[in-house]
Amino acid sequence: MKVQYKPKRNLLETIFQVEILQGMALTLRKMFSPPVTRQYPDEKPPMYPGFRGQHALVRDPVTNDSKCIGCMRCATVCPSRCIQIRYHDDERGKRFVDQYAIDVLRCVFCGYCVEVCPVGAVTMTEVFEYANYDRAAIHYDKGALLENWDNFIAQTGYDETYVNPFWRPRGIPASLLPASQRMNVPDDWTIKGQFVGTKVRQTQESDGSTHAEESNV
Ligand code: SF4
Ligand code: SF4
């Protein structure tokens, strides 16, 4: 390998210390150029598509409770085993979820719980500021998860049809996605236009073909 040495300074450069002057000129220039750093926390960064933030249980506006039907899919698929669900079935076999908890400190944010949920009951919001000194405060029970949802929609203006664009993986036919809501996100999705007010319902015809209907929500 050929080693290149810095050329020697000439007499004038040595007398006037031009590197120091160049350095000072650079400092002076930067003092009057716009800052490149973000003034956090006054200035928050925008969240990008697919950001997996704080968990929440989506509140059903009709029942004012969680949409969760206690199918246990999220707890089964969770690789960290950090979702705990308690439920009971009534005499007619209808299931009621008594407790739903996520120990976020064990969560690896894979998003499988959101992806597998058939009714869009659990979601990962765009909230990223939830660090806490108290471990117990990040062990979310059902009430805390519903509160996370309330705070998220109050901040963003979304409603229960919110779907993180991450949950619509490219290249997978919509019919294979577990919830029809996941077809709501258009291809030209942008951060500003995250929510699109259409719902697509797919029905299976008797001849085996599928039929899609769009409706505004
Ligand atoms: S994001 Fe992954 S690790 Fe975290 S609760 Fe959901 S399934 Fe479990
Ligand atoms: S997958 Fe959805 S409906 Fe089923 S238990 Fe989990 S949150 Fe509830």
For ligand 1, atom 4, the nearest C-alpha belongs to: 107
Task: Name the pLDDT band for 103 (thresholds 50, 70, 90).
Answer: very high
Q: Which atom of ligand 1 is nearest to the CA of 108?
A: 3
- Mean pLDDT of the region 33-60: 86
* Binding site membership of 104 for ligand 2 (Cβ less than 6 Å): no
* Binding site membership of 77 for ligand 2 (Cβ less than 6 Å): no
Model confidence pLDDT, tens digit, residues 62-99:
999 999 999 999 999 999 999 999 999 989 988 999 99
What DSSP element (H or E) covers 108?
Answer: none
For a pocket test of ligand 2, which of 55, 67, 69 has the largest count of ligand atoms closer than 8 A to its C-beta? 69
For ligand 2, atom 3, the nearest C-alpha belongs to: 68
Q: Which residues line ligand 1 (CB under 6 A)?
A: 77-80, 82-83, 102, 107-113
28 CB-near residues (< 8 Å, 6+ apart): none
Domains, the chain, in order of start with CATH, read 55-170 (3.30.70.3270)
Task: Name the pLDDT band for 9 (thresholds 50, 70, 90).
Answer: confident
Nearest to 118 by CA among 158, 86, 72: 72
* Binding site membership of 121 for ligand 2 (Cβ less than 6 Å): yes
CB–CB of 153/61 below 8 Å?
Answer: no
pLDDT given for residue 167 in this prediction: 63
- Least confident range from 18-32, 100-114, 165-179: namely 165-179
Closest ligand to the CA of 166: 1
pLDDT given for residue 24 in this prediction: 93
- Least confident range from 20-34, 51-65, 165-179: namely 165-179
For ligand 1, atom 3, the nearest C-alpha belongs to: 107
Model confidence pLDDT, tens digit, residues 173-200:
555 555 544 545 444 444 333 333 333 4
Task: Name the pLDDT band for 100 (thresholds 50, 70, 90).
Answer: very high
For a pocket test of ligand 2, which of 72, 83, 88 has the largest count of ligand atoms closer than 8 A to its C-beta? 72
- Average pLDDT over the chain reads 79
pLDDT given for residue 12 in this prediction: 78
Query: In 3-state terms, what secondary structure has residue 147?
Result: helix
Nearest to 100 by CA among 61, 60, 69: 69
What DSSP element (H or E) covers 11?
Answer: helix 11-16
Q: What percentage of residues in the chain have a pLDDT greater than 90?
A: 40
Closest ligand to the CA of 80: 1
Whole-model pTM above 0.75? no
